[in-house]
Amino acid sequence: MSVQRRRGQKARVWRTKETVDRRGNTVIIADPDGPIEVRAAFIPQRSARAEVPGQQMINVVRMVVDPHLDGVSLWSRVEYAGRQWDVVAPPTYHHGDRKTRHWSIDIRERP
């Protein structure tokens, strides 16, 4: 495991689960039963400030986590730096030797 992921910043990740809504449809939601505490490296990807009223600020960060994290998908949620984040792209698994394999997850700050 790399130094950045081992000593990285703390984050909480909510896995996803399937449930049935009031209409009888099967839907995927972030599991409210409890988050997973992880340490991750965070790499800024892109951002845009809201300069005019009505515009929205965009802040996207790549989260690099341990390869043993499972159950995370587009419907997962992340809490990092005291803010809520959404997963904006399917997590990408990078296979390598034991020290370099990891998941890359792009997350966007919730408005």
Percent of the chain with pLDDT over 90: 39
Q: Between the CA of residue 90 and those of 24, 62, 103, 107, what are the distances in Å?
A: 26, 12, 10, 10
Query: Identity (one letter) of the amino acid at 28?
Result: I
- Which pLDDT tens digit goes with each residue over 2-58? 555 567 899 999 999 999 999 999 999 888 888 989 999 999 887 766 666 666 677
All structural domains of the chain, each given as residue ranges with its CATH number in brackets, are 3-109 (2.40.10.270)
Model confidence at 104, pLDDT cuts 50, 70, 90, reads very high
- Which pLDDT tens digit goes with each residue over 44-82? 887 766 666 666 677 889 999 988 888 888 899 999 989
